[in-house]
Structure 1
Amino acid sequence: MRRRSITVLGAVLALGVAAAGCGNGSGSGGGGDEPIVVGSTLSLTGAFAATGQIHKIAGETFVDRLNAAGGLLGRKVEWKVVDDQSDQAKVSQLYERLISQDKVDLIIGPYATPNILSAMAVAQRHGYVMPQHTAVLAPQLTYECQFPAWSITPTPNSFIPNQLFDAVATLPAPPKRIAVLTSQSGSAAFVSDGFGDDKSGVLSIARERGLDVVADIHYPPTTTDWAPIATQVRDADPDLVVNNGLGVDAANILQAMAQLGYRPKQMFGLFPAPGPLLALGDGAEGMLSVSMFEPNKATLDKLGPAATEITTEFSKRAAAAKLPYTVFETQAAASWNAWEILTGAVTSSGGLDQRKMCDTLHATGADTTFSGHLTFDPKAHNFWPTTQSLKQIQNGEWVTVWPADRAAAQLQGPSS
């Protein structure tokens, strides 16, 4: 029997009672007192920690609710999560250890595309089903048993820039000059530059639409000195800054610009941690980003009481953990989807056999609280029809602004 333990960052979070896992087991998984063990890593420290903490709280909330409702297959569920320190080089060995040494029954993906790609390779080698929260780099997500919990179509490198440029084109004074700042990291670079033979992305689509790209800056994900980038943007004087980055990149760039006495007319951030931007106050007003879910009352009323319970519980836990932004939004919703895909595969297949779980998801899909019923087509790398929207900071809050038929507020134009 495993010893119960709830450890600090970098070790094990155990929920429920202790147990031994069955690895790539082929049994039914029913009966017995031992818990079903789910293994994963998350970026709890390092560059991606601001977002990794959101996924940690979402996962803890999910597992607690699952166990309170009877667990899986009549057994409690234990989540063994290890801090990968936002270091892609550590992810493969950690997932290898979880599967080969710790013998976890199930796995779930980490946060951030580079980390997800590393984990996916291990999952494929061992034949494990791997739901993953946030990777959208479809051309590289070739393993048929990885299942995206956030879908921006199989071609987000085209969908995202077209959606953004469609939206800002409706403004009274649409942007004509843009600066593109790109993290050289997984999905972010994919959205700017395309991948492989498909060179579609923000840069090519902007030019096709007649926009003038006045700055094209790529930076490593380990960047800590943002002043040179801020200076180049200020000197280029764009109407719109497009930051295809992760985590706190957008917040750091805005702070560096503010230190120069410069404020961009309008800015878009691809996958930012939402809280640090709101913490900037007026300096981030008008900021745009992508969204899969925002918990406005009309949406929650439509989804039913369970959605309200989940979002409320998450917010309480996020506040207790002193997260800068405690709202259950896109990142948390993606995390919740991933857990529902995983547990749905177990219940629908009737056990822990990885092959049966994968085949069941392809055959019947998965029901989710926040994105409805998801269908998975291996020919589309399992990406399901997107529900992507755009959100904007207005009066210190994130609100959905595009497309118009799903907007909670009207898109606001550039600051003067």
Structure 2
Amino acid sequence: MNKNILKLTMVFFAIFAFNACSDDDEITFTAQTPPDQISFTNEFLSEYLLSSQTASNNAERFTWEAPDFGVPTPITYQLEGSTDFEFTEPVNLVETSNQQASVSVGQLLNLAESAGLDNDPETDNPDSGDLFFRVRALIGTENAENSPETISEITTLTVSILAAGGEEPLPVLPNLYLVGNATAANWDNNNNNFPMVRNPENENVFTYTGKFLGGDTNEFKLLENRGSWQPQWGLQDGNLDSSEDLGNDPGSFVISEGEGYYTLEVDTENKTSTLVSFEEAGSETYTTIGIIGFGTTGNDDGWSQDIDMTQSSFDPHIWYISEIELFDGEVKFRAENDWGTNWGSGTEFSGSASIDGPNIPTRAATYEVWFNDLTGNYNLIPIQD
């Protein structure tokens, strides 16, 4: 009898211990709300000009630091806009897992209209005012109601709505410039650094084809602005990344296969890059290339005179004009002051021109102009005051 009671007691304790161990195996990590607020890292303009004609253009690219929740976890970011500082009715503009997000002119216009702004002379509404923005960071990807989160300080942007039919402002478009001892500029960040060509259909994608110096010590990076080392783009663990997202400078691209011609393509949104050889041998080298058209003078006289471009001493296929006033109109590029070889395309500001292609549309402004006769790629970069 005593033996049976002892056996039952042992079984009871074994079951209790098993359940206790099972419960202990379900380890739960508790994320804590970061003590410091998340913060924006990009610089903002003093005023944003909005018009319905440019609604599809990007108005601003917001960037921010990643918060530390104390445990490794995916983070969902929500960029919010509001018509009032209290965020009474916040608008979720972008939801992303990245530390950056672009907001279009159209999104700002919608917010501005909700704030009662317009440029209609028949109303008493103001045509300019302030809009408010913040970014929320939440644990995970499901946005659970009780997830820890942190919210940035509020940033105020001043916007002005242009009257319908008024002068359309030039869009603010991103650029990337080459720097490094594999390039013409060497490690000087303000030495007429060659720009990459922005894809006119996707402003996050850039391409450059040209000469690079090679060797294990010949390297380069990409800068968003000439004369400034920040923000800069390079390689981190073999992947494209930026100093803004990393919090420090990325590594360099290395031309390890030797001096020659290469095509570089980068996607700053998806953080991808490719660098492949380009066969330049047999390509024609021109003695002159110029820009011609109504857009160079503002009248038809522009179609009868070439404005010669400067040929790069580093790469004879790269041509540029440091400063030129262009007018509303159209232009083309042509070689040897003759229509026998001319390039054109239907996209303004940047694109890939083809032989005998359409005229390139221009808007009145002062520009820096670049052309690549190997690919037909071109940049018309407005010079901002």
TM-score bin (small chain): under 0.3
Higher relative contact order (CA 8 A, sep 6+): 1
- Structure having the higher strand fraction is 2
TM-score (ref. length: structure 2)? 0.23
TM-score (ref. length: structure 1)? 0.22
- Structure having the higher helix fraction is 1
